[in-house]
């Protein structure tokens, strides 16, 4: 596997805005005028000029961009400090986003994205994401660094809605962070929703809104985080406010404030001094290692969408539309062929767990970090693809 530079431009600017040209705006107006407020945007094909040049399966890796915040978390002896460490990790992934107001490609059924990271101390981490369902769309992902005793398993069920001059992606699903050197210590995380404002008129901008949460039942701790949207005359962009509490008693231990795009602060509930919890200006992004496109399988995200990405880079929207349609039409043809043979789609890496979610197919992972590392690396990069 060789290193490959990201295919997209990202930004860490405080507020990203975009003013579509008249032609682009009229296209959006024509499409969205067919919908009523609250309608599901999956009913229509959105124009390519709103696309970020990467798949959602890769977009998820933004939350693995600052591994120093989560690696070795199990070595922290104080349980509240461990919980704060996981909270800091969760808040660190939102400031990385595309220039302008863009959305990632919707993954097709069976699409996958694989990557790994090499850290300064010689340890490694591995990641695989797979689109396990198309109707409804479900992306499932697994990240593990056995030498650092961290495993993350998550699923994402985005639902897009139209609300007049804004559109929303409702980020349903759950992330489970496990500290494998502390049996039973699991953190369950939900996400805020994503809003695009100014879709039909005015300046387009992206905001995060609503409430996310982090829970650890074993530690009896919960953090509720409100991602605040700016009011018409009041407030500021990208503000957050949260509290870390004992879940059973409601006792507040810490307050969280700031901006997810800039500095985030934490304050002991009984004190007045604020400390920096995370600062986007000084945080360094750990690059991931991804196989070059010519070395990837045909359904790996970067290779699968390569021609669409190239068209977007040269701003050829007509060509982008053609290339996007080719991928989607091919998926429809394969789905039709399976249905005619009465065959169900079989996921490569994940399987339903009976509780509405998905588990990794790899079982009996060794408790020895080096052996587990070999198992996981072999599973992600050498598991044969299903024949259907």
What percent of the chain has pLDDT above 90? 72
Question: Distance of CA 342 to CAs 136, 234, 330, 335, Å?
Answer: 19, 56, 18, 10
Lowest mean pLDDT among 63-77, 104-118, 261-275: 63-77
Residue 44 burial (10 A CB sphere; 0-12, 13-18, 19+): middle
What pLDDT band is residue 94 in, cutting at 50, 70 and 90? very high
Lowest mean pLDDT among 89-93, 101-105, 209-213: 101-105
First to last CA, the chain: 26
Identify which has the larger pLDDT, 5 or 98.
98
For the chain, the C-alpha Rg in angstroms (whole number) is 21
Helix axes 306-313, 317-340, angle to 10 degrees: 160
Mean pLDDT throughout 119-127?
96
Say what the pTM is: 0.90
What pLDDT band is residue 164 in, cutting at 50, 70 and 90? confident
pLDDT for res 277: 97
What pLDDT band is residue 10 in, cutting at 50, 70 and 90? low
Mean pLDDT throughout 204-218?
95
Mean pLDDT throughout 333-339?
93
For strand 103-105 and strand 51-55, is the pairing parallel, antiparallel, or unpaired? Answer: parallel
What is the Cα–Cα distance from 266 to 255, expressed in whole angstroms? Answer: 6
pLDDT score of 375 more than 70: yes
Rounded mean pLDDT of the chain? 89
What is the Cα–Cα distance from 19 to 21, expressed in whole angstroms? Answer: 6
pLDDT for res 5: 43
pLDDT score of 202 more than 80: no
pLDDT for res 44: 58
- Model pLDDT for residues 141-158, shown as the tens digit of each residue: 999 999 999 999 999 999
pLDDT for res 235: 85
- Would you say 281 and 293 are in contact if contact means Cβ atoms under 8 Å apart? no
Mean pLDDT throughout 192-208?
86
- Residue 241, number of CB atoms within 10 A of its CB: 13
pLDDT for res 307: 98
pLDDT for res 165: 77
What pLDDT band is residue 14 in, cutting at 50, 70 and 90? low
Residue 155: phi, psi to the nearest 5?
Answer: -140, 150
What pLDDT band is residue 6 in, cutting at 50, 70 and 90? very low
Structural domains of the chain, ranges and CATH numbers in brackets: 10-278+289-382 (2.40.160.120)
């Amino acid at each position: 596997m060789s290193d490959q530079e990201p295919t997209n431009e990202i930004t860490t600017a405080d507020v990203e805005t975009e003013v579509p040209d008249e032609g682009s705006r009229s296209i959006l107006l024509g499409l969205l005028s067919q919908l009523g407020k609250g309608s599901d945007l999956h009913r229509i094909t959105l124009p390519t000029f709103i696309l970020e040049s990467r798949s959602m399966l890769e977009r998820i890796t933004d939350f693995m961009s600052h591994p120093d915040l989560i690696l070795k978390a199990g070595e922290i002896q104080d349980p509240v400090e461990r919980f704060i460490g996981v909270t800091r990790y969760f808040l660190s992934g939102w400031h990385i986003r595309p220039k302008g107001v863009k959305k990632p490609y919707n993954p097709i059924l069976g699409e996958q994205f694989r990557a790994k990271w090499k850290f300064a101390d010689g340890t490694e981490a591995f990641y695989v994401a797979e689109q396990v369902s198309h109707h409804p769309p479900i992306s499932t992902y697994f990240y593990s660094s056995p030498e650092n005793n961290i495993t993350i398993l998550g699923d994402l069920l985005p639902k897009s809605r139209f609300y007049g001059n804004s559109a929303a992606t409702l980020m349903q699903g759950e992330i489970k962070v496990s500290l494998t050197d502390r049996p039973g210590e699991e953190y369950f995380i939900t996400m805020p929703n994503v809003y695009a404002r100014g879709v039909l008129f005015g300046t387009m901008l992206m905001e995060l809104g609503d409430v996310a949460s982090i829970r650890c039942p074993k530690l009896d701790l919960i953090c509720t985080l409100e991602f605040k949207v700016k009011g018409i005359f009041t407030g500021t962009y990208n503000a957050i406010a949260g509290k870390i509490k004992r879940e059973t008693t409601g006792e507040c231990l810490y307050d969280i404030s700031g901006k997810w795009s800039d500095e985030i602060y934490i304050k002991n509930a009984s004190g007045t001094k604020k400390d920096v919890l995370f600062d986007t200006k000084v945080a360094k992004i750990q690059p991931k290692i991804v196989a070059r496109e010519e070395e990837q399988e045909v359904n790996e995200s970067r290779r699968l969408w390569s021609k669409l990405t190239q068209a977007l880079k040269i701003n050829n929207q007509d060509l982008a539309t053609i290339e996007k349609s080719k991928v989607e039409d091919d998926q429809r043809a394969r789905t039709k062929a399976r249905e005619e043979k009465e065959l169900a789609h079989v996921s490569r890496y994940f399987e339903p767990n009976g509780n509405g979610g998905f588990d990794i197919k790899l079982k009996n992972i060794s408790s020895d970090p080096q052996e587990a590392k070999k198992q996981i690396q072999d599973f992600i990069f050498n598991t044969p693809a299903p024949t259907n």
